[in-house]
């Protein structure tokens, strides 16, 4: 499979096949086209290495030192039960207050309960949306703004996420790439597909006994999902904070 | 000791044409509606033979193209304020001598050449679309005479030798009683120089103390104390429409001018805007008002106009506006340093614009920073506009009794009406639109009530667990009606 030399000038438009000559195989054409586009628009083809040093750290347990780093510039999808996702959201608010940094919560269904988070609300922009389209548009505006280090899109209470075109998620991912914003999307089931740079599954299940415990003692069980496996980490393994701990 | 008098020439005309500078190139006159006389003329109107003091009909008879505008009384007051405001940055001792005149005591200022100093003033007023003339002299009255002797080509007059300056001026240049002027005219005296050639004491003996004051004025040695005023810092621009605009375009056009002028005035006094108040008087006498907090106080016209422009994108009025007012609330430039590790907003103005767009998208009541109300009533919070400039309140020291207990709740807004069967006075079965099942465990009841001094409220809350991992829910009973407030786990 021949690839054009980067030193030689290559035409942007491929030559039309002439009668009697065999047409170049499709994969070679595709590769050639990609090479041409990469040469023409190099900034659009730069591979962005994940910079974990720029990650947004959150604590798995409010009183513990074990932290989970959410990578900047990618979407993190969080699946899990309602209780775990609400607790995960609280941990995000804790991290925001600790930074301290502004953050936005796009709440599709307006299910967030600020009671109990009084001291962490001063830098939270809460956008209550009553339909899916409004929530997606609001997220789009916040990502374009690029001011906030953390944007949370909470779709946990929305049952019909499959109606969202996958292009929406890829567009979000593309907008996030050049920024240092963390976008966390809460969904009841895995929805974002390969557009999610990170997928976390909250595996804790809670009983009525959890309502008697101090909230800071409740510990989140986090497992990395398929998206993480694609990036080299084994799926279904409990998260180990050793390699990403930010003290 | 030096004094400077600043004058707004063609005061009524400047006020009437403040927001329509292109009209200076038309034959136009300003009429005082109380006296029905013309009080201001553009050069083209004067060339056509129209004169100050004519009636509008007389003016229109001279040139049928004459456009006649009423006096803009509000804008005249605004111009007087602007002159005082800029003069206040030059000297602390100011007198509002007349609506179009302001006298400054220049004592203690290092002027260098007074003429160059006065000429340097003109661009500052031009920056806020004002034409000004200045007279500098040793006394307030003399500086007033000096400013009256200026012309459009020579807008600055500095009196270096008072007697030489005063000598050729006619007696009418100073306030002279008619009786004295008649006597002096009979003596053959028509100029101030002629008057001062007479002996001061003899004039006083023959014509009395008023003639003595006149002689002193004519000699340039009269002294009076300035009636000092303090400039009012009111940064406001107004405009009244002749018609009812039905699109935002003319409003935005004027707002851009307002913003440019307000920011020039703010910069002139070293201030920035921390808020804008937009007022649109409507045709039924009411008014639409909107206050815009500026996230990071600024005097940048682009930033301020963008905030207004964004608001107009979603503004819909039931009635047509008949005027436009824009007020800027000034503050000193922000000099607060953020904390070392604080992640500040990169572009607070852009964020403010995004918040405005979010409000237009989701509704004003659905966007903001939540603040809990001081009550034990469940779900009692309000959304407030984000406060960008203020540091967040320091978190209180952790106290054991304040630490929240249990999982956070995900609320159903509004709560779901439910049917609950009781077993041994505790919820035993739950049925509602979203969930149905047998309750296997409960916590509660938690009885809450408050505001007994008003209408009052009371409720009873239960936390329940459904059979077979059906989830954890919060139920409430108020007035015998059961509701599902939210779920902890599902």
Assign domain B237-333+348-388 to a CATH class.
alpha beta
Q: Which two tokens stand for residue B147?
A: 């400013």
Give the distance from CA B488 to its chain's centroid: 50
CB < 8 Å to B489, chain A: 81-84, 205-206, 210
CB < 8 Å to B462, chain A: none
In the 8-state DSSP scheme, what is residue A156? T
Please answer yes or no on whether A82 and B350 come within 8 Å at the CB atom.
no
- Structure confidence by residue, pLDDT tens digits, A140-193: 999 988 888 899 999 988 878 888 888 899 989 988 888 888 899 999 888 888
Q: Taking 50 as the threshold, does the pLDDT of residue A245 lie above it? A: no
Please answer yes or no on whether A112 and B411 come within 8 Å at the CB atom.
yes
- pLDDT reported for residue A236: 42
Q: What pTM does this model have?
A: 0.59
Q: What are phi and psi of A229, to 5 degrees?
A: -65, -40
CB < 8 Å to B354, chain A: 141-142, 144-145, 147
- pLDDT reported for residue A184: 93
- pLDDT reported for residue B92: 80
Please answer yes or no on whether A141 and B371 come within 8 Å at the CB atom.
no
- pLDDT reported for residue A19: 53
Superfamily classification of domain B3-163: Reverse transcriptase/Diguanylate cyclase domain (3.30.70.270)
Mean pLDDT rounded to a whole number for chain A? 75
- Structure confidence by residue, pLDDT tens digits, A37-48: 888 877 666 655
Q: What is the DSSP string of B383-436?
A: EE---SSSPPPPPPPP-GGGS-BSPPPEEEEEEEEEEEEEETTEEEEEEESS-E
CATH (one of 1.20.1740, 3.30.43, 1.10.150, 3.30.70) for B175-219: 1.10.150
Q: Which two tokens stand for residue B105?
A: 């005591």
| CATH topology match: B3-163 vs B237-333+348-388 | no
- pLDDT reported for residue A18: 52
Tell whether A116 is within 8 A of chain B (Cβ): yes
Partner residue opposite B358 with nearest CB, options A101, A119, A141? A141
Task: Name the nearest CA neighbour of B416 among B390, B435, B403.
Answer: B435
Kindly report the nearest CA distance between residue A136 and chain B, in angstroms: 11
Tens of pLDDT, residue by residue, chain B (490 residues) = 789 999 999 999 999 998 888 899 999 999 998 999 999 999 999 999 999 999 999 999 998 899 999 998 888 998 998 898 888 888 888 899 999 999 998 887 777 888 898 998 898 888 888 899 999 998 888 899 899 889 988 999 999 888 888 888 888 888 778 888 889 889 998 888 888 888 888 888 888 888 888 888 888 887 788 888 887 778 888 888 878 887 888 889 999 989 998 998 888 778 889 889 999 998 888 899 988 888 778 888 988 998 888 888 878 888 888 889 999 998 877 655 555 445 567 777 778 888 888 888 888 889 998 888 888 888 888 888 887 655 555 555 555 446 788 888 888 888 999 999 988 888 999 998 888 889 888 888 888 888 777 777 888 899 999 888 788 899 998 888 999 998 888 7
- Structure confidence by residue, pLDDT tens digits, A88-115: 888 888 888 877 788 899 999 898 988 8
Identify which has the larger pLDDT, A83 or B285.
Answer: B285
In the 8-state DSSP scheme, what is residue B479? T
321-360 in B: which are within 8 Å (CB) of A? 339, 341-343, 345-348, 350-351, 354-355, 357-358
Q: Which of A58-62, A242-246, B357-361, B461-465 has the highest mean pLDDT?
A: B461-465
CA–CA distance from A215 to each of A25, A57, A61, A210, B24 (Å)? 61, 19, 9, 8, 72
Partner residue opposite B369 with nearest CB, options A90, A97, A126? A126
Spell out the domain ranges in chain B: 3-163, 175-219, 237-333+348-388, 409-488
Q: Which two tokens stand for residue B370?
A: 């939540």
Q: Taking 50 as the threshold, does the pLDDT of residue A235 lie above it? A: no
Partner residue opposite A83 with nearest CB, options B342, B345, B488? B488
In the 8-state DSSP scheme, what is residue B254? H
10-69 in A: which are within 8 Å (CB) of B? none
A158-195: b (≥16 Cβ within 10 Å) or e: beebeebeeeebeebbebbeebbbbbbbbbbeebbeeb
- pLDDT reported for residue A46: 61
Partner residue opposite A87 with nearest CB, options B342, B403, B408? B408
- The Cα–Cα gap between B96 and B74 comes to 17
- pLDDT reported for residue B53: 93
Please answer yes or no on whether A147 and B350 come within 8 Å at the CB atom.
yes
- pLDDT reported for residue A151: 93
Please answer yes or no on whether B393 and A119 come within 8 Å at the CB atom.
yes
Tell whether A6 is within 8 A of chain B (Cβ): no
ipTM value? 0.74
Q: Which two tokens stand for residue B186?
A: 């009979």
- pLDDT reported for residue B9: 93
Cα nearest neighbour of A214 on chain B:
B405
């Amino acid at each position: 499979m021949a690839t054009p030399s980067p030193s030689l000038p290559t035409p942007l438009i491929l030559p039309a096949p002439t009668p009697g000559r065999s047409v170049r195989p499709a994969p070679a054409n595709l590769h050639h086209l990609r090479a041409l586009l990469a040469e023409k628009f190099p900034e659009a083809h730069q591979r962005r290495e994940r910079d974990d040093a720029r990650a947004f750290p959150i604590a798995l347990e409010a009183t513990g030192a074990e932290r989970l780093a959410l990578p900047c510039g990618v979407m993190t999808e969080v699946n899990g039960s309602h209780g775990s996702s609400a607790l995960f959201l609280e941990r995000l608010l804790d991290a925001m207050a600790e930074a301290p940094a502004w953050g936005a919560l796009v709440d599709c269904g307006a299910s967030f309960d600020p009671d109990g988070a009084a001291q962490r609300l001063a830098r939270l922009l809460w956008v209550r949306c009553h339909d899916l389209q409004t929530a997606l548009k609001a997220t789009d505006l916040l990502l374009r703004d690029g001011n906030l280090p953390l944007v949370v899109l909470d779709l946990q209470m929305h049952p019909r996420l499959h109606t969202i075109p996958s292009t929406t998620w890829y567009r979000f991912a593309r907008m996030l790439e050049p920024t240092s914003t963390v976008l966390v999307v809460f969904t009841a089931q895995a929805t974002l597909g390969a557009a999610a740079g990170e997928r976390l599954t909250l595996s804790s299940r809670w009983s009525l006994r959890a309502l008697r415990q101090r909230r800071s003692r409740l510990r989140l069980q986090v497992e990395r999902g398929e998206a993480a496996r694609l990036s080299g980490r084994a799926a279904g393994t409990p998260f180990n904070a050793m390699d990403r701990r930010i003290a | 000791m030096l004094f400077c008098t600043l004058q707004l020439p063609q005061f009524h005309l400047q006020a009437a044409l403040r927001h329509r500078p292109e009209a200076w190139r038309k034959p136009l006159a300003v009429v005082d509606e109380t006296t029905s006389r013309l009080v201001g003329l553009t050069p083209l109107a004067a060339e056509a033979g129209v004169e100050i003091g004519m009636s509008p009909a007389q003016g229109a008879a001279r040139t049928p193209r004459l456009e006649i505008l009423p006096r803009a009384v509000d804008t005249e007051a605004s111009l007087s304020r602007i002159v005082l405001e800029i003069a206040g940055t030059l000297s602390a001792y100011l007198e509002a001598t007349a609506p179009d005149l302001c006298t400054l005591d220049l004592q203690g200022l290092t002027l260098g050449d007074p003429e160059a100093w006065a000429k340097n003033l003109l661009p500052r007023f031009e920056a806020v679309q004002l034409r000004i003339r200045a007279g500098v002299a040793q006394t307030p009255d003399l500086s007033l005479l000096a400013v009256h002797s200026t012309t459009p080509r020579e807008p600055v007059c500095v009196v270096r030798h008072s007697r030489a300056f005063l000598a050729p001026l006619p007696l009418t240049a100073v306030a002279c009683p008619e009786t004295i002027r008649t006597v002096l005219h009979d003596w053959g005296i028509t100029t101030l120089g002629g008057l001062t050639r007479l002996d001061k004491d003899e004039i006083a003996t023959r014509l009395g103390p008023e003639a003595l004051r006149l002689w002193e004025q004519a000699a340039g040695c009269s002294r009076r104390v300035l009636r000092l005023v303090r400039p009012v810092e009111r940064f406001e621009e107004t405009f009244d429409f002749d018609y009812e605009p039905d699109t935002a375009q003319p409003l935005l056009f004027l707002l851009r001018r307002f913003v440019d002028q307000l920011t020039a005035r703010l910069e002139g006094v070293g201030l920035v805007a921390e808020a804008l108040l937009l007022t649109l008087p409507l045709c039924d006498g009411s008014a639409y008002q909107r206050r815009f907090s500026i996230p990071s106080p600024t005097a940048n016209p682009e930033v301020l106009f963008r905030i207004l422009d964004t608001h107009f994108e979603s503004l819909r009025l039931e009635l047509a506006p008949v005027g436009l007012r824009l007020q800027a609330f000034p503050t000193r430039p922000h000099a607060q340093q953020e904390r070392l590790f604080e992640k500040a907003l990169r572009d607070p103005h852009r964020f403010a614009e995004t918040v405005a767009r979010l409000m237009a998208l989701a509704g004003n009541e659905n966007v903001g920073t939540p603040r809990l109300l001081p009550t034990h009533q469940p779900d009692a919070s309000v959304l407030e506009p984000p406060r960008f400039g203020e540091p967040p309140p320091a978190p209180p020291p952790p106290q054991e009794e304040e630490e929240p207990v249990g999982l956070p709740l995900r609320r159903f807004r509004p709560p779901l009406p439910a049917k609950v069967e009781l077993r041994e006075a505790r919820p035993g079965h739950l049925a509602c639109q979203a969930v149905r099942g047998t309750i296997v465990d409960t916590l509660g009841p938690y009885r809450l009530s408050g505001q007994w001094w008003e209408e009052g409220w009371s409720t009873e809350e239960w936390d329940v667990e459904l059979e077979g991992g059906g989830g954890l829910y919060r139920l409430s009973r108020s007035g015998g009606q059961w509701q599902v407030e939210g779920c902890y786990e599902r």
